Structure 1
Amino acid sequence: MSDAGTTRTGATGLTRRPGPADPVRTLMHSHRELCERAVDPLEIAAGLEAHGVTDRAAARFRHRDVFSLAEELYARVPRAAESDTDADTDADTTVPHPARSTDPRARWTLRTLLPGAVCAVAVVAPGHAGGAGGGVRLAIGVAGAVALAIALTVAVRRGPLRVEGHTARVSRLWVCWLLAYVLYGDRLPHLSAGGGPHGTSPLTDAAAPLLALAFAVAPAAWCAHLLALQARRGLTDSRGLAEFASRTRPPLLGLLVLYVLTLTALALLAELVIGADRGTGAGHPVATVALGALLFLARLLTVHGFPKAAATGLATACAVEALALVLATAGRVPGFETVSAPVRVLVDAGGAGAVPAVACGAAALGLLIHAAVALPRASAHT
């Protein structure tokens, strides 16, 4: 009797043991939708990381890392047949993530070369207008600006620089401001610093920066494409989040350096050709490189799911440039000359291009720090 009672008591104690016998089951129910929608374990691993599940947390579920935990979840959660049908339908009607893009490389490469070609024609066309009046030249300039805007839209609509959904309107406004500053913004600080009008027109002065930035769309797309491929390879080969980050961060920084060097070469070449031909002098290649780096980092962060950080960087650069314009304008009012002293010092030291160089450079540095932390995460590449 005592043995039987002991046996029953032991059995009861085992069946009423606190805590789940299968700890993965609780996690499976909490993230069931993620597991059902995933097309491979890598997406589950990235989703778990986005929800705060780290390799250390995976140990509580009796797994050595998040990747092995994701593999078990993927194997245990069934995916309905209709979900597979919907996924096949979506694959035919939507554009996949850049890391899995089925868009032929040659096709999106040609599209990214389109802005540079259109910008080159827009820059050359006014010079071949002959003795046409100012109205004709203005019409040619407006037509060139519209064509360039369309070319840029076509270039980023598909391929590695495509953003899922729609970019925020406010971000597009910041980009328009930064590009407009290339055309007009640096003239007011220059004049307030005591200089006279330079160049023949704002368009002529900005021809070299615009040409370099337009041609830089192609290397930006290729750098984004190579980063996506490297990240996808890292997701397949890595066995932990820390290992994936260590595999992804060096290529990320290397590709950023490659893009900056390419943009620098384009800016110097454009200044050499356009400046020598139009008599605009040395120009401001540093400001061009700073702006291009800022736009590239902002686009890269937006593509990988960090639009707020990108918008913050763009807005910061716009705020600095706007402040410089306000100070420069206030300095032209009698009695307020000292207000524009910071702008005058900056312009005297580095020329009118120093203002956008400082504004965009500082904002780009902030986005670079954020990208070095955010983009090596697995959740940024699924």
Structure 2
Amino acid sequence: MKALLHRHRELCARAVDPLEIAAGLEAYGITDRTAARFRHRDVFSLAEEMFARVPRGADTPPRPEPPADPPARGAWIVRALLPGAVCVATLAGLRLTHGRMRLVLTAVGLVALVLAVRAALARGPLSARRRGPASAAPATGVRLWTCWLLAYAALGDGLLAAVAAGGPDTLPLGTADSAWPVDTAVLAALTLSCAPAAWSAELLASGARRRLTASRGLGEFATAVRPLLLGTIALYLAALAGLHTLSAAVLGEPAAYARTLTLGALLLLARLLAAHGFRRAPALVLGVAAAAEASALSVLFGSRLPGCAFLGAPVQALLDGWGPGSVPVLVCGVGALALLAHASRRLTRASAHAPAAARGDGR
């Protein structure tokens, strides 16, 4: 016990209650089984003894009351609205222009959209928590795979169908009825959903903070946060479904709810994990999803080589049975379920929502 107190003395001295120490111990990998070696039933009981045994000065802050919801920050709300506004403005311009001007507008709109999404994710509830230089590589991977998945959402189904039919013979013209159709409704819905995603992330963070100060133990906290996490995801998906219905109606395109909702769930879960400091799993899952979509296209192209028709047989069977949209639905659906299982374990831990002082450097 003395060695444990010495190792975590700074954590115990700064803590304002035992739960903060328990969150820090949890972040260091100490479990109930470890606590049993110190003759305690769980980590929280161990934290209570550590809290009682570390001396404190008169300036030790009192146990905080459950915080009220933070006031709405106009800056991050405006930034969250930027991607949708830029996407809508670009799509409106594409409907009104032709020829070279349309190509210029497409290029400018894509650059503006990337900058708008980056601004929306740089600050506010969706901003990724940094955990040192090692997080730079996963962050770069998340951005790269996210761009691929969004590009495939707009262009991939049309390209997959064209390749299966022996094409493509033309470049995408930006319309849903061309030989290589472009799905702009899903792109508009996903960019417009940045605002509901930010609000959902803020709802999760504020709710978890309230439960962190009100809970008596780590198990009680996890039990309280799990329905909050699932409810947050459900609210976002409901908002995304409504935005996709509106976008499809305005743009005159068929609504593809399964494809849009699975991709939206995948991206939201990846961002929630990154916002709480867990970047490796989102980078891995998004990378696998992007590689799977790229592989579906590659095997169809490869099947055109002499004697290689068997390569495209699985993808062709999937297209014949369920259509080109089945590929992203299957890929993103499996990825979203994997991240949901990971988030249900990681985001229900007190250390994921504890203050930086409680998390320490070992997380």
Partner of 2:124: 159
Which secondary structure state, in structure 1, belongs to the residue aligned with residue 321 of structure 2?
helix
Distance 1:357 1:377, change over 3 A: same
Deviation at 1:38, TM superposition (A): 4.8
1:110-259 equivalences under 5 Å are: 110-129=78-97, 132=98, 134-165=99-130, 168-194=139-165, 201=172, 203-204=174-175, 205-259=182-236
1:33-112 equivalences under 5 Å are: 33-36=10-13, 38=15, 41-55=18-32, 57-58=34-35, 61=38, 66-67=43-44, 69-70=46-47, 73-74=50-51, 76=54, 78=56, 104-112=72-80
Q: Is contact 1:112–1:217 with CA below 8 Å preserved after alignment? A: yes
Partner of 1:374: 346
Question: Which letter maps to 1:141?
Answer: T
Runs (4+) off by over 6 Å = 99-103, 195-200
Deviation at 1:300, TM superposition (A): 0.7
Number of residues paired by the alignment? 336
> Which stretches in structure 1 are left out of the alignment for 5+ residues?
1-22, 85-98
Q: How far apart, CA to CA, are the structure 1 residues paired with 2:280 and 2:219? A: 25
Partner of 2:261: 289
Partner of 2:296: 324
Q: Is contact 2:212–2:221 with CA below 8 Å preserved after alignment? A: yes
Q: Is contact 1:189–1:344 with CA below 8 Å preserved after alignment? A: no
Partner of 2:333: 361
Q: How far apart, CA to CA, are the structure 2 residues paired with 1:233 and 1:64? A: 25
Indicate the RMSD between aligned Cα atoms, in angstroms: 3.0
Question: Which letter maps to 1:171?
Answer: V
Partner of 1:6: none
Q: How far apart, CA to CA, are the structure 2 residues paired with 1:146 and 1:31? A: 47
TM-score by length of 1: 0.78
Partner of 1:95: none
Identity within the alignment, %: 50
Structure index of larger Rg: 1
Q: How far apart, CA to CA, are the structure 1 residues paired with 2:103 and 2:111? A: 12
TM-score by length of 2: 0.82
Deviation at 1:272, TM superposition (A): 2.2
Q: Is contact 2:129–2:276 with CA below 8 Å preserved after alignment? A: no
Q: Is contact 1:103–1:159 with CA below 8 Å preserved after alignment? A: no
Q: How far apart, CA to CA, are the structure 2 residues paired with 1:203 and 1:34? A: 57
> Which stretches in structure 2 are left out of the alignment for 5+ residues?
62-66, 131-135, 176-181, 355-363
Question: Which letter maps to 2:148?
Answer: W
